[in-house]
Amino acid sequence: MWRLARSLRQSGSSWQLGGAAVARLTVAAGSPAPSGSPGGWYEWLAQSSPVHWAEDGLVALQAAAGLPWWAAIVCGGALLRSAVTLPLAAHQGRLLAKLENLQPEIKKLAEQLRYEVSVRGKQMGWSEKVARFHFKKKLRRIITELYIRDNCHPFKATLLVWVQIPMWVCVSLALRNCSVGALDSEVQEQFSTGGTLWFTDLTAPDSTWIMPVSLGLLNLLIVEIFASQKLEASRFQKLATNFFRVLSVVMIPIAATVPSSMALYWLSSSFMGLSHNLLLRSPTVRRLCCIPRTKSDSDTPYRDIVSALTTKYSFKK
């Protein structure tokens, strides 16, 4: 179960939304849909209170800082990542470290329990199927007690995902509303001239595909960095890794069809997510965050990442 939590940590750090939801957001980024159409409930979501709060927050940030809109979007994404998801990521790191440190104790107790069940089974005349049932039942109870003792149930490690997904959706829809004029025509006009460099119009898609391609490459890098850290990945982890590889590529054309404001937010959010996750690999930062030391921890995490990626993708014979 703790391996599932680690997989969700990877997906939550590198991605904020599944492919189907992203595709729906792409539809919502266009013109408003009639209430009876498939996109009607997305229009309802786009007009929901959390999305309006995100809109108000973006407008207030831009007005208070006096920044151009492209900079306000980048700073807003960085602020949310630093103030909300970074502390949750540190909390998640503590839970996962406790879970990893529990594995030797669980393994030892499982071996002892297997012996006790075997002896008891011979006394009671249990079949192999019945003995296996009692073993699994008692092992689940022991593991649950250990989780309670160390306050590290795997489900708690998924909190980051459940906070990050709604936040990402609300901000994305808020930017969509600003871009299509659903919030205020004045804000839409500001967005149309609030970009920079090659994306001067934040209401239009990035026709150069620079941001979409950069987003796809960045997300692929995130996936590969986390995949390189798993020496013995489970079948579920391998499937999840391949899924996010495909999703990284699929996101390129999707990001090319939404307003540049949304693509810019997605790109900056992914960059901050990668930066924070790399930061939390630092032994010094992990100590400051009170993350317990584990057997898999490295004193040179960044060198190990570069070495793993170089070895994996080296074409030298």
Q: Mean pLDDT over residues 35-43, rounded?
A: 57
Residue 231 pLDDT level (bands cut at 50, 70, 90):
low
Q: What is the dihedral of CA 102, 106, 107, 110, to 10 degrees?
A: 180
Can you give the pLDDT at residue 79?
Answer: 92
Within the chain, residue ranges assigned H as helices are: 2-14, 19-28, 40-46, 49-65, 69-80, 86-124, 128-150, 159-180, 185-192, 210-228, 235-255, 260-279, 283-288, 301-312
Please give the Cα distance from 52 to 75 (Å, whole number): 19
Residue 50 pLDDT level (bands cut at 50, 70, 90):
confident
* C-alpha distances out from residue 243 to 12, 105, 237, Å: 13, 33, 10
Name the average pLDDT for the chain.
82
pTM: 0.78
How much of the chain, in percent, has pLDDT values that exceed 90? Answer: 32
Higher pLDDT, 26 or 288: 288
Q: What is the dihedral of CA 64, 68, 71, 77, to 10 degrees?
A: 50
3-state secondary structure of 1: coil
Please give the Cα distance from 141 to 130 (Å, whole number): 17
- The answer on pLDDT for 39 being more than 60 is no
Residue 33 pLDDT level (bands cut at 50, 70, 90):
very low
Please give the Cα distance from 160 to 5 (Å, whole number): 11
Neighbouring residues of 225: CB distance < 8 A, sequence distance ≥ 6: 274, 278, 305, 309
Please give the Cα distance from 177 to 193 (Å, whole number): 16
309, 224 in Cβ contact below 8 A?
yes
Q: What is the pLDDT of residues 234-258, one digit of tens each?
A: 677 778 788 888 988 988 999 999 9
Can you give the pLDDT at residue 128?
Answer: 87
38, 269 in Cβ contact below 8 A?
no
Higher pLDDT, 240 or 66: 66
* C-alpha distances out from residue 72 to 25, 169, 288, Å: 21, 18, 30
Residue 68 pLDDT level (bands cut at 50, 70, 90):
very high
Please give the Cα distance from 67 to 287 (Å, whole number): 36
5, 154 in Cβ contact below 8 A?
yes
